Amino acid sequence: MRVKVNLKCSSCGSQNYLTSKNSKNHPEKIEVLKYCPKERKVTLHLESKLIL
């Protein structure tokens, strides 16, 4: 089953991206290098809870 997760910037804390993952195949948290528009550079983004 795929679940929706937010990707949160590790340096400024803003939640910039929404993605999904298969929690059965990948139970570990996602860590991805993505562009942060607030800091205007590429930073490490970590998986956080989906807040609706």
- pLDDT at position 52 is 64
Tens digit of each residue's pLDDT (9 = 90 or more) over 1-52: 889 999 999 999 999 999 999 989 999 999 999 999 999 999 999 999 876 6
Cβ atoms 46, 8 nearer than 8 A: yes
- pLDDT at position 40 is 95
Residue 13 to residue 21: CA distance in whole angstroms: 21
Sheet containing 15-22: order of strands: 15-22, 2-9, 41-48, 31-36
Q: In the numeric block, which tokens belong to residue 22?
A: 């298969």
Find where tokens 């930073």 sit.
43
**pTM reported for the whole predicted model:** 0.84
Dihedral of the alpha carbons of 14, 19, 34, 50, in degrees to the nearest 10: 20
- pLDDT at position 51 is 66
